[in-house]
Chains A and B, each alone.
Chain A
Amino acid sequence: MSIVSFGFYILVFGGTILYYCIPQKIQWVELLGLSLIFYFFAAEPYTIIYLVISTLVAYFATITIEKQRNLSNSKSSVTAIITAVAILVNIGLWFILKGGALWQPVVQKCISHGFWTERLATYGTRMVAALGMGYYTLQIIGYIIDCYWANIKPQKNPLKLFLFVAYFPQLTTGPISRYSQLEDIFTGHSFEFRNIKFGAQRILWGLIKKLVWAERIGVIISGINNDFTTYHGFYSWIMILLYPLQMYADFSGCMDIILGVSELFGIKLQENFNNPFFSRTSQEFWQRWHISLGAWAKDYVLYPLLKLKMIVNFGKYARKKFGRKAGKFLVNLIGMFILWMVMGIWHGGWRYIVGVSLWYWLILMMGELFSPVFKKIQVCLKIKTDNFSWHLFQSGRTYLIYAIGATFFCCGIHRAIELFKDVLRVIFVKGYANPWIFFDQSILSLNVTYVDLNHIIVGIVMMLIVAVLREKYGYARIWIEQQGLVFRWLVWIGLFIYILIWGNYGPGFSASEFIYQGF
């Protein structure tokens, strides 16, 4: 069961009606039931055992941590050991089941014996990870650490803890919620029309992004990706520049659906996107794109790492020896490397380690190293930076940096390098460029029509309008809510008809999986 399937919306519709008919005290039980139904239809049912193991490990660990704390009235080494073991069990499970792409090639290279290589390959193909394992593993680790830090009280009811892990709207793709943010799922909610209205509107907008725009861009991307010999030259440019848009429409569309479904139950999940393509720098980009992952890594990896005595002392020494700026840069170099490696490893493959970890680590470090030089150049050339055109330039640069990293993400390390070479050939090799593809009909051989191309353009314009409204009013929905009755209904009915006619759904269509559903 995908979150764009008809069955999912029957589950959500029926679940919402029942939710507001039953006593508030037992609403969480219904959410647990819905989560189990969703899991059994959406994944290999037996893999739920991994969620149960993670939950039980976290449950017993945190209860023991609290007991120990009450006994000794402070943090003891026992609580630290229990925390570490509970985290390692969760990471271990994830690494074995989900991180196969990382360890299998290495192990296969190490084991030269044919028998073992064969065994390993068979084992690798048989392994099925739990649904949303990357997301709930981070959630549960965050929960264990928060209990260890005494930021939250451990959940005494294991079923409630299981609901925190398996809450169905966010199970497949996040956002990665903290326990303190998601505690709302255990409290009852009374019926509020605004929650239903805003929830449904958000689901509609997410479905349009996914089924109308992301799917159509996806056809172009996979067409080029599958046949580089036919599609080269400016096709490579199209692919590199268009893929971030597909990612955005797909991933943020998925988030809109998830947050919208949760809003129907009166539960507000944290935002995972905040107009990332308006970012002026790559650092800002990652504060606006997949926000919950970056925030998780900052709180549970970067801060504890930087506060290690060894790193603090190294920072003090480096500042004394090399000066404040250089000292800070050296600490940044280490901290950022580990932070970005965690982000890349979480994605579970070498292509992500290159496209996310190493690429962004390099970009951010270069940016910090050369920022004084860039500032001097700006002053020398008297470049005005407080205007729209400069913002546009900065956002364009940030987009391009993301597009380069995302190319590794999309088609793997070797193919990405081939693509970059092809992009350069267009500029440097005489007669290689093929600009006519923009004017003749050859682009239609990618299985798209002019109507599809028009939809993509309409999609880009509409996402831009919504982004501008969001910057100004918090949400586009709030701005629409302030408008007159006729205008409001025209907008929502118009969007509904738009997806009914142009959405890729129903017989003959099979919406591809969300890009971020695999992690």
Chain B
Amino acid sequence: MTREEVYARLNNVFREVLDDDSIELHDETVADDVDGWDSFEHINLIVGVEDEFGFKIPMGKVVTMKNVGEMVDIILEMGK
């Protein structure tokens, strides 16, 4: 899986969970940059990512990821 492929699927997850088709994610994107990405939606996004990619993200990673770039790194690492 390439980084670009992860981004394409991740954009879809975010758009679906947050109900906003204009979302375009980047490595530096943080919760404050995306409308509606609060603590509650954070977990919905994580669950959406888990459903999309087919693996569980460990809780420790859920609380420490600082931006979308780190989320993509985790997905790439877990998907190996």
Q: Name A's B-contacting residues (CB within 8 A).
A: 146, 149-151, 298-300, 302-304, 306-307, 312, 315, 324, 328, 331-332, 335
Q: A328 contacts which chain B residues (CB < 8 A)?
A: 40-41, 44
Interface residue from A151, A324, A335 paired with B60 (Cβ < 8 Å): A151
Q: A298-B39, A302-B39, A312-B47 in contact; A307/B62 too (CB < 8 A)?
A: yes
Q: A150 contacts which chain B residues (CB < 8 A)?
A: 58, 60
Q: Which residues of chain B in 21-80 are interfacial with respect to chain A, using CB atoms and an 8 Å cutoff?
A: 39-44, 46-47, 58-60, 62-64
Q: Is the interface of B mostly helix, strand, loop or mixed?
A: helix
* 18 A–B contacts from the bound complex (CB under 8 Å): A150-B58, A150-B60, A151-B63, A151-B64, A298-B39, A300-B63, A303-B39, A303-B43, A303-B62, A307-B43, A307-B47, A307-B59, A312-B47, A315-B44, A324-B19, A328-B40, A331-B40, A332-B40
Interface residue from A149, A298, A315 paired with B59 (Cβ < 8 Å): A149
Nearest B residue to A149, CB-CB:
B60
Q: A335 contacts which chain B residues (CB < 8 A)?
A: 40
Q: In the complex the two chains form, what is the Cα distance from A306 to B40 in whole Å?
A: 8
Interface-centre pick from A146, A300, A328, A332 (highest chain B CB count, 10 A): A328
8 additional A-B pairs beyond A150-B60, A302-B39, A332-B40, beta carbons within 8 Å, are A146-B60, A149-B60, A149-B63, A151-B64, A300-B63, A303-B63, A306-B40, A331-B40
Residues of chain B at interface, number, CB under 8 A: 15
Nearest B residue to A324, CB-CB:
B19
Q: In the complex the two chains form, what is the Cα distance from A384 to B47 in whole Å?
A: 38
Nearest A residue to B63, CB-CB:
A299
When A and B form their complex, what is the total count of cross-chain residue pairs whose Cβ atoms lie within 8 Å? 40
Q: A151 contacts which chain B residues (CB < 8 A)?
A: 60, 63-64
Nearest B residue to A316, CB-CB:
B47
Nearest B residue to A150, CB-CB:
B60
Q: In the complex the two chains form, what is the Cα distance from A376 to B60 in whole Å?
A: 40
Q: In the complex the two chains form, what is the Cα distance from A155 to B43 in whole Å?
A: 30
Q: In the complex the two chains form, what is the Cα distance from A286 to B17 in whole Å?
A: 25
Give me the 8 closest cross-chain CB pairs, A-B, nearest first: A149-B60, A306-B43, A151-B60, A299-B63, A312-B47, A149-B59, A332-B40, A303-B63
Nearest B residue to A283, CB-CB:
B38
Q: B44 contacts which chain A residues (CB < 8 A)?
A: 315, 328
Q: A328-B40, A328-B41 in contact; A303/B59 too (CB < 8 A)?
A: yes
Q: A300 contacts which chain B residues (CB < 8 A)?
A: 63
Q: B64 contacts which chain A residues (CB < 8 A)?
A: 151
Interface-centre pick from B19, B40, B62 (highest chain A CB count, 10 A): B40
Q: In the complex the two chains form, what is the Cα distance from A332 to B44 in whole Å?
A: 12
Q: In the complex the two chains form, what is the Cα distance from A24 to B44 in whole Å?
A: 46
Q: A303 contacts which chain B residues (CB < 8 A)?
A: 39, 42-43, 59, 62-63
What distance in Å separates the Cβ of A427 from its nearest Cβ neighbour in chain B? 36
Q: In the complex the two chains form, what is the Cα distance from A307 to B46 in whole Å?
A: 9
Nearest B residue to A329, CB-CB:
B40
What distance in Å separates the Cβ of A347 from its nearest Cβ neighbour in chain B? 21
What distance in Å separates the Cβ of A517 from its nearest Cβ neighbour in chain B? 29
Q: In the complex the two chains form, what is the Cα distance from A312 to B60 in whole Å?
A: 18
Q: B19 contacts which chain A residues (CB < 8 A)?
A: 324
What distance in Å separates the Cβ of B58 from its nearest Cβ neighbour in chain A? 7
Nearest A residue to B19, CB-CB:
A324
Q: In the complex the two chains form, what is the Cα distance from A315 to B46 in whole Å?
A: 13
Q: B43 contacts which chain A residues (CB < 8 A)?
A: 303, 306-307, 312
What distance in Å separates the Cβ of A411 from its nearest Cβ neighbour in chain B? 32
Nearest B residue to A331, CB-CB:
B40
